[in-house]
């Protein structure tokens, strides 16, 4: 039996590529999409893929969910993501979250509802394999090194700061241990904001510039030694498809919110 999937943000940069990936998968079925700009039209017509001609686009998640699905994929924006995921859980669907900008408090509320309904939510700041590996390597490095900061790169038009990738990364590193800055940011001489913002105990610096898509540097330092771990994405959304498909297939094995694709890599 195929996994019936509803995709919010189906005509977007990442969502449209994922829709094509679902169409090519024999074990998945895209049964509905959310796109305010394409509401009432066929997804196949909207993105130029005849395999998806039978998939209707809806203006809201509530409308798309009315037809029912097994897994709801959230790929819209931070202003609507939380409400969409809560609506999916209310309709009895597991959820995969690829949208940036949700805070820890948002995930706590989502987790409470997911556990009450015995449903899984897999939130991935980044579905790309190199980003998943960066997270794992950073956790290993944090066990052995005492000082680190994160640089978050994004396009000039990316409004959420930091990226979902960096939010997830900072949280997971904090669960290893907090960094040990020699001089705390609030003790700096000069504008404290130039030291970045503290996120889960880690100083994070968000850059938003033309020419950037998405990137992360985790910079570790100990006396006379520096280690830099870097993930940098190109302009294509294709690297995120395989990870998102894996998340759709595995999210039903979870209960509550789980953050990071590696939570299901070995499932």
**Overall average pLDDT of the 181-203 stretch:** 90
Is residue 260 within 8 Å of 124, Cβ to Cβ?
A: yes
User: Domain residues of the chain, as ranges?
Assistant: 3-123+237-263, 129-233
Report the alpha-carbon distance of residue 79 to residue 106 in Å, rounded: 12
H helix intervals, the chain? 13-24, 43-47, 61-65, 78-90, 104-116, 129-144, 164-176, 241-250
Q: Which residue has the tokens 């017509």?
A: 45
Give CA separation, 112 vs 70, 119, 144, 169, 212, in Å: 19, 10, 34, 22, 36
Q: Decide if pLDDT at 236 tops 90.
A: no
Distance of CA 260 to the CA centre of its chain: 8
Q: Which residue has the tokens 């990316």?
A: 158
| Residue 77 pLDDT grade (very low, low, confident, very high; cuts 50, 70, 90) | confident
**Overall average pLDDT of the 45-53 stretch:** 96
Q: Decide if pLDDT at 201 tops 90.
A: yes
CATH of the structural domain 129-233, one choice from 3.30.1330.40, 3.30.300.30, 3.30.360.10, 3.40.605.10: 3.30.360.10
Looking at domain 3-123+237-263, its CATH class is alpha beta
- Determine the pLDDT at residue 260: 87
- Determine the pLDDT at residue 267: 54
| Residue 146 pLDDT grade (very low, low, confident, very high; cuts 50, 70, 90) | very high
The strand order across the sheet containing 3-8 reads: 57-58, 28-34, 3-8, 71-74, 94-97, 120-123, 256-259
100 phi/psi in degrees, rounded to 5:
-80, 165
- Determine the pLDDT at residue 233: 87
Give CA separation, 96 vs 7, 115, 137, in Å: 10, 15, 24
Q: What does pLDDT average to over the chain?
A: 94
Distance of CA 192 to the CA centre of its chain: 29
Residue-wise pLDDT for 82-111, tens only, equals: 999 999 999 999 999 998 888 889 999 999
- Determine the pLDDT at residue 187: 86
Is residue 77 within 8 Å of 99, Cβ to Cβ?
A: yes
Give CA separation, 236 vs 13, 15, 18, in Å: 8, 12, 12
Secondary structure of residue 28 in the 3-state scheme: strand
**Overall average pLDDT of the 32-52 stretch:** 94
End-to-end CA distance of the chain: 19
């Amino acid at each position: 039996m195929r996994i019936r999937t509803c995709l919010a943000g189906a005509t977007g940069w990442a969502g449209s590529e994922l829709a094509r990936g679902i169409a090519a998968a024999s074990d998945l079925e895209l049964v509905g999409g959310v796109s305010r700009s394409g509401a009432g039209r066929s997804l196949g017509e909207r993105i130029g893929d005849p395999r998806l001609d039978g998939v209707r686009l809806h203006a809201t998640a509530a409308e798309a969910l009315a037809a029912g699905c097994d897994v709801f994929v959230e790929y819209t924006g931070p202003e609507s993501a939380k409400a969409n995921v809560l609506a999916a859980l209310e309709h009895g669907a597991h959820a995969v979250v690829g949208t940036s900008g949700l805070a820890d408090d948002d995930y706590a509320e989502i987790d409470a509802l997911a556990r009450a309904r015995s449903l899984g939510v897999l939130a991935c700041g980044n579905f790309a394999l190199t980003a998943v590996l960066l997270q794992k390597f950073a956790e290993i490095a944090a066990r052995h090194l005492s000082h680190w900061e994160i640089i978050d790169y994004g396009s000039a038009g990316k409004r959420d700061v930091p990226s979902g990738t960096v939010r997830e990364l900072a949280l997971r590193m904090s669960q290893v241990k907090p960094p040990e800055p020699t001089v705390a940011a609030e003790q700096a001489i000069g504008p404290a904001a130039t030291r970045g913002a503290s996120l889960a105990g880690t100083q994070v610096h968000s850059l938003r510039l033309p020419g950037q898509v998405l990137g992360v540097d985790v910079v570790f330092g100990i006396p006379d030694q520096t280690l830099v771990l870097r993930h940098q994405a190109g302009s294509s959304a294709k690297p995120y498809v395989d990870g998102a498909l894996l998340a759709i297939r595995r999210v039903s094995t979870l209960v509550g919110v789980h953050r990071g694709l590696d939570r299901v890599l070995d499932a």
